[in-house]
Amino acid sequence: MLKHKFTNSLINETSPYLLQHAHNPVEWYAWNDETLALAKKENKLILISIGYSACHWCHVMEHESFENEEVADIMNNNFINIKVDREERPDVDQVYMNAVQLITGGGGWPLNCIALPDGRPVWGGTYFTKENWVSALEQISDLYQKDSTKIIDYAEKLTEGVQQSNLVIPNKNEIIFSEEYIQQCVDKWSAFFDIDFGGLNRAPKFPMPTNYQFLMRHAYKTKNSNLQAYVNTTLTKMAYGGIFDQVGGGFARYSVDEKWHIPHFEKMLYDNGQLVSLYSDAYLINKNELYKETVYNTLEFIERELLHENGGFYASLDADSMNEENELEEGAFYVWKKEELEKIIGSEFELFSQYYNINEYGFWENNAYNLIRSKTDDEFAILNNIEITDLKKIVDQWKNKLLVERAKRQPPRLDDKILTSWNALMLKGYIDAYRVFNDNHFLDIALKNASFLEENIIKNDGSLFRSYKNKKATINAYLEDYATLIEAYISLYEVSLEDKWVLLAKKLSDYTFEHFYDKDSNMFFFTSDIDSKLITKKTELEDNVIPSSNSIMAKNLTKLGHFFEDANYLKTSRQMVHNIAPLIENYPSSYSNWLDIYTHLSGSFYELAIVGEDAIQKIKEVNKHYIPNKVICGRVSDIKNKSFSENEAEFPLLKNRFIQGTTMIYVCVNNSCNFPTNDSSIALKQLSN
């Protein structure tokens, strides 16, 4: 066996997660063609360890195993060791997560998988204690050296399973989208609702914003008060819970308990972007002030802790931070001892302790409390004989005091890479907040981020980069990046009427057809045809904490198809949803974004064209109402020339619709248009019909 000089090559990477491992005694490599070639050259098994910067148990395994010289010797002598940041390389993560799920029936991070020198997986799991890790490595390396045929045979079978796991079979049946089918899916799903605390009736609990976007829409459309109450309970309990940072705003990734009290304390950009969109839309329906406060507090957190001066958003904050003993501890930055709260809050502590449950309900561990609410402000004010306006002032003062004190602590580690898809989700969050609350500050942030992505992430050939850090963009982007950015740019156009955003969305969509589209399945691959080949090309179908890239693309193509009257876009979108329809009813919560598009296709979908000097104002009047089944196209007239720009031909919904001296609204549905009006209230009645 050839030997090569010991080196930990991660020191040359930019990912904070990889850099965290750059000084391990393990001979780590990054995932690239050179590393894979080295494995083949030396005929060594590949050890693939996947995680991310904010992952608590990734840090634990690093400390127990990867920082240990004895363990490192075993790894270095027998394997080519590859560290992967799952946020930078979701393509690699998908393949080996799939393999581990087939092996063990579950998955998670840290994800550890051993593969043949050609990348075919052999064995894997998630977190291992040092003893179990060493034992497994020694057994596998010994077997590979003594009888590699057994391992190769197993790898062939496992690889076949990975390749077959999400093949899409085109649905050749007649395309029929029925509202009855949607209701059947919701009825099946509802058996798993936690009516008391919201979410599903199990722990841990993830926010899953796409689930509640769909359920909220379905409840609104069908006037189902029980379903609407369930969604409101979920949103309220999450906003009251410890999963929401009651002091500084922003949501953690998930709660380990049923009442949303104790989170896994990491804060991820993608969660917060989507939850801003969810709470904004929910506010449109019931004008619940809690939802508005949640949006504003979350965005204050984003701007305070995750916004770069260039307009990009950082990826995440770690779950761990330094405690009083100067040791990393999960949640140390966020939790409080009763004694320090008494000192900070002073004479109002009794009232504070009732509001934030410094009692058995709010107790965590080690004499620490994670703040959690259990009553509405109105209920609390009445119970304590306080005016509601006075209560809100008092609570704001408490938060400010705690923020000042918390700022004296060592903050969680920051993952400062800027990821395209996560930025697009946060961008859409800002756009949705602006659409609902008409706060120009939100639009300003959105435009700055959109421009940053346009200038730094979009390449000259129309393709995208995945990641940006230290003024350098890297990694060829994935379908997730295209789909989310297209969706965000469409949304930005619909509130700003700046042509370039929707034209960019169309350009990026056309690029995905050229480099990601699979004509055999009528779906899109996760990786492009110019990426290095893995053991299989995955097609992402299931909606998870982030909706599947294919479901987002199907929704984009529906909107762009109406916008540009593009029959291919519309046909492709319908076929994609039709392909997935047989899968949805088996596990509806894993296809909630697909159900949302299915709702578009099973009912009326409106084209709203607004042209004239007051077009923006008319859009704002329409956006005061919850109307998810529409696309907006518009143009503010050129005051000087009383005409539209030369791009008019590219916007068929605007053709021949300018009337000098007025602003007209055109509402069309199912290839039929209502009589045009300059009164937004009349247009809203046409939309409600």
Pair type for strands 79-85 and 45-51: parallel
Topology of domain 9-164, per CATH?
A: Glutaredoxin (3.40.30)
Q: How far apart are CA 646 and CA 633, in angstroms?
A: 16
Arithmetic mean of pLDDT over the chain: 93
pLDDT above 50 (res 593): yes
Topology of domain 606-688, per CATH?
A: Glutaredoxin (3.40.30)
Domains 9-164 and 179-321+415-602 alike in fold: no
Per-residue pLDDT, 2: 37
pLDDT above 60 (res 293): yes
Q: Which two tokens stand for residue 484?
A: 């989310």
Share of the chain above pLDDT 90, in %: 82
pLDDT digits (tens, 9 = 90+) for 449-463: 999 999 999 998 889
* Burial 267-279, CB ≥16 within 10 A → b, else e: bbbbbbbbbbbbb
Q: How far apart are CA 97 and CA 111, in angstroms?
A: 7
pLDDT digits (tens, 9 = 90+) for 305-315: 999 999 999 99
Per-residue pLDDT, 42: 92
Burial class (CB in 10 A: 0-12, 13-18, 19+), 660: exposed
pLDDT above 80 (res 87): yes
Point out the least confidently predicted range of 57-61, 191-195, 439-443: 57-61
Share of the chain above pLDDT 70, in %: 97
Confidence label for 332 from pLDDT (cuts 50, 70 and 90): very high
Q: How far apart are CA 658 and CA 402, in angstroms?
A: 55
Q: How far apart are CA 319 and CA 49, in angstroms?
A: 19
652: how many CB neighbours lie within 10 A of its CB? 16
pLDDT above 50 (res 379): yes
Q: Which two tokens stand for residue 461?
A: 């050939």
Domain ranges of the chain: 9-164, 179-321+415-602, 334-408, 606-688
Q: How far apart are CA 608 and CA 615, in angstroms?
A: 11
Per-residue pLDDT, 661: 86
Contact (CB, 8 A) for 429 and 474:
no
Per-residue pLDDT, 57: 87
DSSP per-residue codes, 392-413: HHHHHHHHHHHHHHHTTSPPPP
Total residue length of the chain: 689
Confidence label for 640 from pLDDT (cuts 50, 70 and 90): very low
Confidence label for 632 from pLDDT (cuts 50, 70 and 90): very high
Domain 179-321+415-602 has CATH 1.50.10.10: yes
| CATH class of residue range 334-408 | mainly alpha
Per-residue pLDDT, 648: 47
CA-based nearest residue to 50, from 17, 3, 12, 76: 17
Say what the alpha-carbon torsion angle 167, 168, 169, 170 is, to the nearest 10 degrees. Answer: -160
pLDDT digits (tens, 9 = 90+) for 5-27: 457 889 888 899 999 999 999 99
Query: E strands within 398-511?
Result: 414-415, 418-419, 465-469, 472-476
Start-end of H helices in 106-224 = 130-146, 148-164, 179-190, 209-222
pLDDT above 70 (res 643): no
Per-residue pLDDT, 6: 56
